Amino acid sequence: MTNTTAPTIDLPALVAQTSTGLNDASADAATVRFDVRASLATGTNTQVDITAGQHSFTIDEPPALGGQDVGANPVEHLLAALAACQVITVKVWAAKLGVTVDDVDVELSGPIDLRGFLGVDPDVRPGFGEIEVTARISGPEPAGAYDELIRKVEEHCPVLDNLTAGVPVRATITAG
C-alpha cells in the first residue's frame, strides 16, 4: 500500500509559491471545490461505492451493524479524514516554517452511543460524543523547535476546523 517513491515535489518551494500566489487572490480564485459521489451497491444492505476524482473505494459496516465488512465504516472514515489531515497539515506547515519532520503518527479514538443513531433515546446524539487525537511528530530539530508548528497545525487543519466548529450542510433528499 505504501508508495515509498521519493517525492518528486519540492514541498517548501510549492507551499511558498502557492502562498505567495494567494496573497492578492480573490475568494473565488483561492477556492477549490471538492466533489464526491456515492451509491448503494445493488442488493446490499450497507455497501457504499464512493467516487472521488480518479479514486474509488467501498465503505461498509461490520455484520453487527448490518454489513459484510467489505470496507471501513463511515465513522472510521471520518476519523481517517481527521488523521490524514493532521499528518498533511504537519508536513505543509513544517515546509512553511522551515522545520524538518521525518515521521508523523496519529491515533484517534471516539465513542458512539448507539441509542442516538437508532432513536432509542432522543437525548443521545447520533455521532461521536468526543474524539481523542494523539499525534507524535519525529524529527532532528531541538526540543521546542516544534512548538510553533504544533500551534499552526491546531489552527489550520481543515478537517479539525470542520469537526470542532461545525459546518453548514445543505442536504436535499428526494425520494420516489
- Which residues ranging from 113 to 172 are in contact with a copy of itself (CB under 8 A)? 113-120, 124-139, 141, 143, 145-147, 149-150, 152-172
Q: Is 176 in the site for a copy of itself (CB under 8 A)?
A: yes
Contacts for 14 with CB less than 8 Å, ≥ 6 apart: 95
- Closest separation between CB of residue 98 and a copy of itself, Å? 14
User: Crossing angle of helices 74-97/147-156, nearest 10°?
Assistant: 130
Residue 142, classed as helix, strand or coil, is coil
26-65 mask for a copy of itself (x: CB under 8 A)?
-x--xxxxxxxxxxxxxxxxxxxxx-xxxxxxxx-xxx--
Residue 105 lies near a copy of itself (rule: CB under 8 A): yes
Give the nearest distance from C-beta 49 to a copy of itself in angstroms: 6
Nearest-angstrom CA–CA distance, 157 and 80:
13
Nearest to 129, CA basis, from 140, 116, 142, 119: 116
Site for a copy of itself, residues 60 to 89, rule: CB under 8 A: 61-63, 66-89
